[in-house]
Structure 1
Amino acid sequence: MSYFSIAGLQLDLGMHNNLDVLITKTEQTCKLYPWVNMVVFSELALTGAGKHNIVDDIDALEQALCQLAKRLNIWLVPGSYYQRIENDTLNHLKVINPQGEIVARYNKIYPFLPYEKDVANGDQFVTFDVPDVGTFGVSICYDMWIPETIRALTCLGAEVIIHPTMTGTIDRELELCIARTHAITNQCYFVDINGAGDQGNGQSIIVGPEGDVIYQADRTEQIIAVELDLSRVRRTRERGIHGLGQPLKSFRDNPIEFPQYKQEGAVERESAMFSDLGKLEVPK
């Protein structure tokens, strides 16, 4: 089976505990679209932004979300939330299967510094398999601005990238360009779900493996339900985009060693180019 249906919830939520609202919205979505296989929330949808919204009772939250996924028989990617792991605060995402089991955990690799203050970076790329469908990768918001993150997920087999975000600034238009670029250069589906109202300026976008915009939302609250055909990814990777460019094969077959990836001195962080950039801080 290559068909898989996803509903992205672009919701107008406050900066507080939104669990009950999100449970209700998920139930409504599954009633309206009973064919949906997965529901995706936006970044920090559950609690809102800010370290003061860190989740303390993780067990209760996870139990509620796992019960929701099992009761509705859906895959659930409930956005992300701030979680304390050992001595660090991380922007944490989990993936729950229809049996109510957590099958993947991901910590945002690139917090939105210098604005997302005192949030540690994750260091693991995460993919998960949907049996008889394909391989999915997860990414959060600012991760997409570093192209190596999505290429890493692709190299791990990802055919669909699930990307919750929380963007309410004027660079949202640029993120739409980046989403399409990732889909094109990695020949994959890119599912970018933003919040609305206080939690973002909407404009969620779902892009196909040839860069085609399957759906782009406006700024209002919306339930975005689409059916993806993963055989399109495999066919596009086999034949090329519109039967033309085959970027993944070119990347695989060219023996060039990128200087930033060489083992010795990988990413020359002390090079003139990097040192001349200055500190990572809020512009003055």
Structure 2
Amino acid sequence: MGRHLAAALAQYPPITGVDPVGQLAAQVAEILGDSARLDLIVFPEIHLCGDCDAAPDANDWLRAAAEPLDGPRIRALGEVARQLGVWLIPGSVPELGGDGRVYNTEVVFDPGGTLIAAYRKVFPWRPYEAWASGHEFVVADLPGIGRAGLSICYDSWFPEATRSVAWMGAEFVVNVVKTIGADRKQERVLAQANAIVNQVFMLSVNAAGPIGTGGSLVCDPEGTVVADLPTAEPGVLYVELDLDAVTLVRARGTEGYNRMWSQMAADDPVIELPIYQGRIDPTRWEPRGAS
């Protein structure tokens, strides 16, 4: 029967006002009410922090809004997931780290309300964003469904990011985005390219207008766009993905030909990577098994 993921990607404008978590709860409930079955609901990057868009200095506003991951915002978001019984990625949040730095952090809650994964954006959009840079890639296991790779906006421009979570066993990658400029058209190409070269589903959800430029899309492991909201208008992408398609494509090859994850033989020479002061070891090339 396959392992199916029923997901909703909410291409919504950033939330403003005094009770953003309450507004998010209403949005989640509405999305659930419009679908017969959903496993996962995903919102764009920094979805809860729309007030920063009107601030004289958005980076200062976000620094002031930052909380630790054991703070009231995360507890309230967990309660939303628990009350509505759904896997929830409420976009990303400004996280105050124990080191005093402020990170752009994508968070994942299970249907019981537990924070099961948090990913600090490794590639902030420099020089425009003042976030501290994370240094670890993260995957999240959804028991009985599959393994998600976490990615935030500009990460998609760096092939190392998606390749890393794919190698860690991700079958689908959730790229939460708040792109405000004309470069969304390149990001849409990158979503397809990252899907193709890593043989994963790519779920890329951008903020709607008037702040975001929209263009949310879902690509399958061969790069085909299977769901699309091409304009900046608000909307929800509902998709049901057969995650066993990842296993199938990797076994038979893209379009029946290309099996990148089977490229290396155990007796191939080690490939030096001077740019990283590292190497590709053929014995470590294949992805780790997904749950």
- TM-score between both structures, scaled by the size of structure 2: 0.85
Shift of 1:219: 1.3
Question: Could you say if the C-alpha distance between residues 258 and 179 of structure 1 is closer, same or farther in structure 2, counting changes exceeding 3 Å?
Answer: farther
Shift of 1:12: 2.2
Q: Distance in 2 between matches of 1:174 and 1:258?
A: 30
Shift of 1:132: 1.9
Q: Does 1:95 align with 2:100?
A: no
Q: Equivalent residue of 1:25, what SS? A: helix
In structure 2, what residue type is equivalent to 1:257? I
Please list every run of 5 or more consecutive structure 1 residues that lacks an aligned counterpart in the other structure: 268-284
Partner residue, 1:188: 200
Q: Does 1:216 align with 2:228?
A: yes
Match of 1:235 among 248, 254, 279: 248
Q: Does 1:135 align with 2:147?
A: yes
Shift of 1:79: 0.5
Q: Does 1:53 align with 2:67?
A: no
Q: Does 1:146 align with 2:158?
A: yes
Q: Distance in 2 between matches of 1:56 and 1:143?
A: 21
Shift of 1:123: 0.7
Shift of 1:261: 6.0
The answer on whether the counterparts of 1:23 and 1:68 sit within 8 Å (CA) in structure 2 is: yes
Partner residue, 1:62: 74
Q: Equivalent residue of 2:257, what SS? A: coil
Q: Does 1:257 align with 2:271?
A: yes
Partner residue, 1:78: 90
Task: Describe the superposition over 1:171-216 as per-residue Cα deviations: whole angstroms up to 9, x where unpaired.
Answer: 1000000000000000000000000124311000100001110111
Shift of 1:56: 4.5
The answer on whether the counterparts of 2:202 and 2:220 sit within 8 Å (CA) in structure 1 is: yes
Partner residue, 1:271: none
Once the two structures are overlaid, the 10-residue window that deviates more, 40-49 or 187-196, is 40-49
The answer on whether the counterparts of 2:148 and 2:172 sit within 8 Å (CA) in structure 1 is: yes
Match of 2:261 among 238, 243, 248: 248
Q: Equivalent residue of 1:61, what SS? A: helix
Q: Equivalent residue of 1:197, what SS? A: coil
Shift of 1:81: 1.8
Partner residue, 1:10: 11
Partner residue, 1:204: 216
The answer on whether the counterparts of 2:15 and 2:23 sit within 8 Å (CA) in structure 1 is: no
Q: CA RMSD in A?
A: 1.9
Shift of 1:237: 0.6
Once the two structures are overlaid, the 10-residue window that deviates more, 12-21 or 67-76, is 12-21
Shift of 1:67: 1.1
**Percent identity between the aligned chains?**
30
Q: Distance in 2 between matches of 1:251 and 1:181?
A: 21
Q: Distance in 2 between matches of 1:169 and 1:31?
A: 32
The answer on whether the counterparts of 1:185 and 1:248 sit within 8 Å (CA) in structure 2 is: no
Q: Distance in 2 between matches of 1:14 and 1:237?
A: 39
1:110-121 matched pairs, under 5 angstroms? 110-117=123-130, 119-121=131-133
Shift of 1:129: 1.0
Task: Describe the superposition over 1:79-103 as per-residue Cα deviations: whole angstroms up to 9, x where unpaired.
Answer: 0121211310110111100111111
Q: Equivalent residue of 1:199, what SS? A: coil
Please list every run of 5 or more consecutive structure 2 residues that lacks an aligned counterpart in the other structure: 53-57, 280-291
Partner residue, 1:157: 169
Q: Equivalent residue of 2:271, what SS? A: coil
Shift of 1:258: 4.0
The answer on whether the counterparts of 1:189 and 1:209 sit within 8 Å (CA) in structure 2 is: yes
In structure 2, what residue type is equivalent to 1:8? L
Partner residue, 1:282: none
Q: Distance in 2 between matches of 1:176 and 1:231?
A: 24
Q: After TM superposition, which residue ranges in structure 1, 4 or more long, deviate above 6 angstroms?
A: none
Shift of 1:252: 7.0
The answer on whether the counterparts of 1:42 and 1:80 sit within 8 Å (CA) in structure 2 is: yes
